[in-house]
Amino acid sequence: MSVHRHLDAQGVLATMYASQWFMTLFAYRCPLDLVFRVFDLVFVEGSQIAINFALALMKKNQQVILSLEFESLLEFFSSIHDNAYQFVQDAYSFSISPRLLQKLSKQYVQEAAKVAKIQSIEDNMKRENIELTEQVKKLKKSYRTLELEHQDVAKQVIDAKMSMASLAAENQQLKHELNQMKHEMVKIKATMDDECHYRFSDLASKNAQLVGDNSELQDRLSELESALIDMKLKYAESENDFEVMKQKLQEAQKLSLFKK
């Protein structure tokens, strides 16, 4: 058990060293006289004797194994040097019943199934995490786009307000000028003569033109007011979309953190 705990602590899995033992029957980097003894006993006892050799190797070198770390352990397990006769004697010192082997095999299969299931769950979670990360990136991109659109709409609203203020000032100036002209016209009518009549006609013409200009300005002002109403509606819709997208982004970030 101490050897098992040490190997587990060092991160050395059985597949890193035992697979080459059993697949090559210790022929991988082992002395030929030792390999011959292993093959002799495999022919006589069957392939299960290889487990005895593995246990004998572990037991005899227990202290050495406990003193080594990861890389040194792998190097030690990949190159076995031992007295062939003594190695055989050590192997025969273990007695492993077929029932025990069957029980251990069943336990291994169950543990392997659990590990495979856990690995499958981890893979699914990693895949979902990647998908959620991509969704978060897309939401962030959409959020930035919506934010830029929001800024554009806000700028358009500000420009429209400034334009309306300028037009309103111009309209007030024109009204003031019109009132002055009306006042002059009243004064002229009081002392009207032929020359004044001519000037009055000219002023009346100018007044008509100013009235027309004022009417056009009123129409432009109405159009701008209508455009401002539309922009305010779009601005409200943009604000609503902005809040919805912001909420989705927060939910996606929370879900991503939860999955991690």
Please report which confidence band the pLDDT of residue 177 belongs to, taking 50, 70 and 90 as the band edges: confident
Burial track 229-251 (b if 16+ CB lie within 10 A, e otherwise): eebeeebeebeeeeeebeeebee
pLDDT at 111: 73
Share of the chain above pLDDT 70, in %: 87
Domain that holds residue 24: 2-96
My answer on whether 37 and 89 are in the same domain is: yes
- The residue with greater pLDDT, 195 or 36, is 36
For residue 113, tell me if it sits in a domain: no
Do 142 and 72 belong together in one domain?
no
Asked if the structure places residue 29 within a domain, the reply is: yes
Give the CATH number for residue 199.
1.10.287.1490
Q: What's the pTM?
A: 0.39
Asked if 46 and 175 sit in the same domain, the reply is: no
Structural domain count of the chain: 2
Whether residue 133 sits in one domain with residue 78: no
What is the average pLDDT value for the chain, to the nearest integer? 78
Is 192 found in the same domain as 127?
Answer: yes
Over 80: is that where the pLDDT of 135 sits?
yes
Helix (H/G/I), strand (E/B), else coil: 1: coil
pLDDT for position 258: 66
Does residue 56 fall inside a structural domain?
yes
What pLDDT, in 10s, does the model give residues 144-170?
888 888 788 778 878 878 888 887 788
First-to-final CA distance of the chain: 34
Which pLDDT belongs to residue 259?
62
**In the predicted structure, residue 176 carries a pLDDT above the cut 80:** yes
